[in-house]
């Protein structure tokens, strides 16, 4: 058996890694525990320009552009509908970084990534929940809940915040930072509605309030939404809610405006899918053990207001793919120590960057949900005075995204774009199989 990677988790991070491996020539199989390879429901999902560059390298940019909601404008309101700010923040992302900020209906992006992967029906397997992971001298054996056994050279855990792979890695650990690396201070109600009245296209609406905020994004014949609320206390681990608790929460905020004219009750009354859960935050201390490595929400989880979660996962996918490809070129059958060196380098590159992204995301969540009187004052009066969202974009977000412009070092960017802010990692070009950056 040649070198083969077992990717646990067929979500957006897992599919991103699969596409990277496909282009790198690394053999793999994806194990998805659900019987649905493409979920029926979901809200919005964003990609910042650093990962639009990866879409370009993978040959997926044109198809993604057809699904993009093309958000350009942003309206901030209070819960009574009064306007805090109107700007073209999302349009300015493209001016700053070349590629636009792209936003999708999550199931559409998921379906696109699944169906566009070559040989996807044989390489992505459903109903393959992981029951056990055993390490051997030269590989790993993964046993699924239905008794199916998969053998490979290594395992990637891309199975989310409640990762089975992470649990197997730290089995027997009593230190909570290993057993459960995340905390939960907020909860979120995600949904998708058929409401489209008084919602302008290409516009993100954001309501700011005391311990609560909302975002609604119009798509094609739908409106996607998220409601964020501060919990009374921070708890370790994940937090889930019942259908009754979800309905009760939605009813309690039905009179809140989510735009100048639309109330949350209007949106909720025409909702076709919804999900209510806690919002985990945190960075795991250790991202790998022998022949096992973690990516995405399994190791770096952040609040989704700024849309940096999937972006961090794909940045990790690029770095890990580059490292493995270089190793396999020189060592087709790497030892455990060989793999650990790649994993260590990957963690060293990505951990600080992911932490920065998580810190920015958490700060934004707390500012717009007025976590304390200082943030309430700053959001309503100081932020507009210094230039509003657009100024914060230029000062905080753009430099961080430009710094984290990690790409695949073996694929060209046919549609490379840069804006006012230079990428730390420039354009990838290939000259006689030699990679250069310009």
DSSP annotation string for 169-224? HTTT---HHHH---EEEEEEEEEEE---TT--TTEEEEEEETTEEEEEEE-SS-EE
Report the predicted TM-score, pTM, of the whole model to 2 decimal places: 0.95
As a whole number of angstroms, the distance between CA 417 and CA 65 comes to 15
pLDDT reported for residue 362: 98
Matching residue, tokens 């879409």:
55
Residues forming beta bridges with residue 293, ordered by sequence position:
156, 288
pLDDT of residue 36: 85
Contact status, residue 357 vs residue 56, Cβ threshold 8 Å: no
* pLDDT, mean of each 10-residue run, the chain (438 residues): 95 98 98 90 96 98 98 98 97 97 97 97 96 93 98 98 94 77 97 96 98 96 97 94 98 98 98 97 95 97 96 97 98 97 98 96 98 96 93 94 93 95 87 55
Q: What is the pLDDT of residue 310?
A: 96
Phi, psi of 409 (to 5 degrees): -85, 10
Ordered by start, the domain boundaries in the chain are 4-38+107-181+282-410
Cα-based torsion angle of the residue sequence 99, 105, 110, 113 in order, rounded to the nearest 10 degrees: -30
pLDDT of amino acid 174: 74
Q: Which top CATH class is 4-38+107-181+282-410?
A: alpha beta
pLDDT at 178: 78
């Amino acid at each position: 058996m040649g070198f083969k990677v077992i990717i646990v988790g067929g979500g957006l991070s897992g599919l991103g890694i699969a596409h990277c491996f496909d282009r790198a020539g690394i053999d793999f199989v994806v194990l998805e525990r659900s019987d649905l390879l493409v979920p029926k429901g979901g809200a919005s999902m964003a990609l910042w320009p650093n990962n639009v560059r990866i879409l370009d390298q993978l040959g997926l940019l044109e198809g993604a552009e057809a699904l993009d909601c093309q958000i350009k404008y942003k309206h901030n309101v209070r819960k009574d509908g009064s306007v805090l700010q109107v700007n073209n923040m999302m349009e300015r992302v493209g001016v700053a970084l070349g590629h636009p900020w792209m936003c999708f209906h999550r199931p559409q992006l998921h379906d696109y990534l699944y169906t566009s992967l070559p040989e996807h029906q044989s390489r992505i397997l459903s109903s393959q929940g992981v029951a056990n992971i055993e390490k051997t001298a030269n590989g790993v054996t993964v046993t699924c809940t239905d008794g199916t056994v998969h053998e490979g050279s290594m395992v990637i855990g891309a199975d989310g915040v409640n990762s089975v792979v992470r649990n197997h890695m730290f089995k027997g650990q009593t230190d909570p930072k290993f057993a459960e690396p995340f905390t939960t201070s907020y909860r979120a109600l995600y949904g998708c509605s058929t409401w489209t009245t008084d919602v302008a296209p290409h516009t993100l609406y954001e309501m700011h309030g005391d311990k609560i905020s909302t975002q609604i994004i119009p798509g094609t014949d739908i409106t996607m939404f998220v409601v964020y609320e501060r919990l009374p206390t921070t708890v370790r681990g994940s937090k889930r809610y019942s259908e009754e608790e979800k309905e009760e929460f939605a009813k309690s905020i039905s009179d809140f405006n989510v735009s100048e004219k639309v109330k949350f009750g209007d949106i909720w009354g025409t909702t076709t899918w919804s999900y209510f859960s806690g919002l985990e935050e945190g960075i795991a201390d250790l991202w790998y053990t022998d022949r096992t490595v973690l990516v995405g929400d399994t190791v770096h989880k952040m609040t989704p207001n700024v849309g940096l979660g999937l972006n961090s996962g794909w940045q990790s996918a690029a770095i890990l793919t580059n490292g493995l490809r270089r190793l396999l070129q020189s060592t087709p059958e790497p030892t455990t120590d060989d793999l650990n060196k790649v994993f260590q380098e990957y963690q060293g590159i990505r951990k600080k960057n992911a932490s920065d992204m998580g810190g920015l995301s958490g700060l934004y969540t707390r500012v717009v949900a007025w976590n304390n009187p200082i943030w309430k004052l700053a959001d309503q009066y100081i932020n507009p005075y210094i230039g509003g969202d657009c100024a914060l974009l230029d000062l905080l977000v753009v430099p961080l995204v430009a710094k984290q412009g990690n790409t695949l070092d073996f694929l060209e960017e046919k549609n490379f774009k840069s804006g006012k802010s230079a990428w730390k990692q420039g354009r990838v070009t290939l000259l006689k199989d030699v990679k250069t950056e310009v």
